[in-house]
A and B are shown apart, each in its own frame.
Chain A
Amino acid sequence: MEAEIVKRIAHLSRIALPEEELTQVAGQLERIFALVAEMQAVPTEGIEPMAHPLDLQQPLRADQLRPETPSREELLASAPRAQDGLFLVPKVIE
């Protein structure tokens, strides 16, 4: 696996992988994909893909207003930065 590909998927994953780690990570991913290649050789023509263990339908509920829990305060308590009841991030629009 080329370092360029690792760089691209790291960006898609929104992980700032430093240049000096790319080669090492590429080597590890290569080992993982060598393991995965084993599965790719299994004949599966006509096999329906299995997404989930239970063949359940998604349950529906009435679209009703419910009390807001937990409170806004509790939800903001673990925010790295918050102000006036809002999450604070770097300026998005100049």
Chain B
Amino acid sequence: MELHQLELAELAEGLRKKHFSAVELTQALSPRLEAAQGVMNAFISIDSEAALQQAQSADQRRAQGESSPLLGIPLAHKDIFCTRGVRTTCGSKMLSNFVSPYDATVVRRLQEAGTVSLGKLNMDEFAMGSSNETSYFGPVRNPWNLGCVPGGSSGGSAAAVAARLIPAATGTDTGGSIRQPAAFCGITGLKPTYGRVSRYGMIAFASSLDQGGPMARSAADCALLMDAMAGHDPLDSTSHPQGGGRFSAALGRSLQGLRVGVPAEFFGAGLDPEVAQAVETAIQWFAAQGAEIHPVHLPNNAHAVSTYYVLAPAEASSNLSRFDGVRYTHRSAAPKDLQELYLQSRYEGFGAEVRRRILVGTYVLSAGYYDAYYRKAQQVRALIREDFRRAFAEVDVIMGPTTPTPAFALGAKSADPVSMYLADIYTIAVNLAGIPALSLPCGFSKEGLPIGLQIMGDYFADELLLGVAAAYQKDTDWHRRAPAWEEQ
């Protein structure tokens, strides 16, 4: 087997047993990144030279007796994470020349664990999108079908992992941006409990919803990444004091007696029959392993998308006010005064979708509208959280589809923002509540596109979700199937 075909855990073992070095591994992967770039556009920056240096240092650390499981493991970061001395664009013209003066905590923690960063991954501009088509650096293509979107906003992360360019990537999830692309590309992605992974140095979109997480081929690999990524960070005031954990030690659990909730609301109109079929078959598998299947109700899920499109733009309009054309962003040429500098730089620097969301956010927060929109949405958010509270009093996990359909064609939804928003109908409620959820592959459509099963859990049930998913992946091989993008 070639090195790029191995999963993270297998690579870790190979490195530990000295079957190959981190340098050899990096040298095996780097040319594939370059070759795939013209086909898939998964990366915004590739720095093979810097990667090689990191790999050398990982090999030195190992020679000195270190043996952390991630030592020498290659990965790449979504370009929303600040990387010191490396361009960090957030998929935007606004930051197309921004070289970060510091590392995000996630980047630092993974670096300390010994990972080798091969580059920065493409994404929807400021993480606003579900198809990776809003990136200033061009759309990413789905390795299973190059005419389809990879999902978004962590589309580069999902496509690169699925195409076996890298064994793992970081992503962020504000309304489904880890889980939806994971489902569209046939990989495994975890949106952790809000507060477990530091947001420091992760460019903010909607601060009460944003959460970074791992994307890899299997739940076991995601657990290894979480071991390093999660944990309290004094630099993030919303970081949970008990955020860390030994995620990889929580795998290998029995499914006997596991209470699985299935919400009827996730199987209604609009769900593609092939997706429904694959997800139901997966749930049957859990029943056959001794899990108890219970109907649960999430009646307020129907309001999740509309609630989100008040709260997320409101927070975004505030967060994105820092991009002013003065300090580290795009600046328009020869503005006549400071006011014009702000106005023109922000028009030129932001793409159409980002501008739209800033406008919506400014509107709902403006004088006279606050109660009708923002306060109202916060009340509905409380109802959505209450649905989950009630459900998790009865069951351990909730299962359903991650997305209503498999990946759609490039351009299919980009003309109508609202039809794009509705692609996230099953993922958004999780962010509003702040609970963890994971997507893993559970089948393929007749056209050969992957289908994702979503597993949701109560606050701090991240370990349980990973364990349940890992049990499924021990017995199934959906996550081992690789796209033949090189032949397309």
Hey, which bits of chain A sit against chain B, CB under 8 A? 5-6, 9-18, 25, 28-29, 31-40, 42, 44, 47-54, 56, 58-59, 61, 69-71, 74-75, 77-81, 87, 89-92
Instruction: Please pick, from B98, B238, B358, the residue contacting A56 in the complex, using a CB distance under 8 A.
Output: B238
Q: Looking at chain A's contact residues, is the secondary structure mostly helix, strand, loop, or mixed?
A: loop
Counting from the closest, the 5 A-B pairs by CB-CB distance are A53-B434, A49-B378, A80-B331, A39-B306, A70-B101
- Per the bound structure, the CA–CA distance linking A10 and B343 in Å amounts to 9
Distance (whole angstroms) from the CB of B442 to the closest CB of chain A: 27
Distance (whole angstroms) from the CB of A1 to the closest CB of chain B: 9
Instruction: Please pick, from A25, A49, A56, the residue contacting B240 in the complex, using a CB distance under 8 A.
Output: A56
Name the residue on A nearest B383 (C-beta).
A47
Say yes or no: A35 contacts B344, CB within 8 Å: no
Distance (whole angstroms) from the CB of A52 to the closest CB of chain B: 5
Instruction: Please pick, from A31, A40, A61, A80, the residue contacting B418 in the complex, using a CB distance under 8 A.
Output: A31
B380 interface residue, CB < 8 Å from A?
A: yes
Q: What are the residues of chain B within 8 A of A61 when measuring CB–CB?
A: 234
Distance (whole angstroms) from the CB of B250 to the closest CB of chain A: 22
Q: Which residues of B in the span 212-245 have a Cβ within 8 Å of any Cβ on A?
A: 234, 237-238, 240
Q: What are the residues of chain B within 8 A of A75 when measuring CB–CB?
A: 101, 327
Instruction: Please pick, from A18, A28, A38, A58, the residue contacting B306 in the complex, using a CB distance under 8 A.
Output: A38
- Per the bound structure, the CA–CA distance linking A90 and B325 in Å amounts to 11
Distance (whole angstroms) from the CB of A51 to the closest CB of chain B: 6
Say yes or no: B194 contacts A51, CB within 8 Å: no
B137 interface residue, CB < 8 Å from A?
A: no
Distance (whole angstroms) from the CB of A78 to the closest CB of chain B: 4
Name the residue on A nearest B329 (C-beta).
A80
Say yes or no: B421 contacts A15, CB within 8 Å: no
Name the residue on A nearest B356 (C-beta).
A28
B316-328 vs A, CB cutoff 8 Å, 1 = contact: the mask equals: 0100010011111
Given contacts A32-B309, A32-B356, contact A50 B335 (CB under 8 A): no
Q: What are the residues of chain B within 8 A of A38 when measuring CB–CB?
A: 302-303, 306
A-B contacts besides A35-B306, A50-B385, A53-B433, 8 pairs, CB < 8 Å: A13-B362, A33-B360, A39-B303, A42-B376, A42-B380, A44-B380, A44-B383, A69-B102
Say yes or no: A40 contacts B372, CB within 8 Å: yes
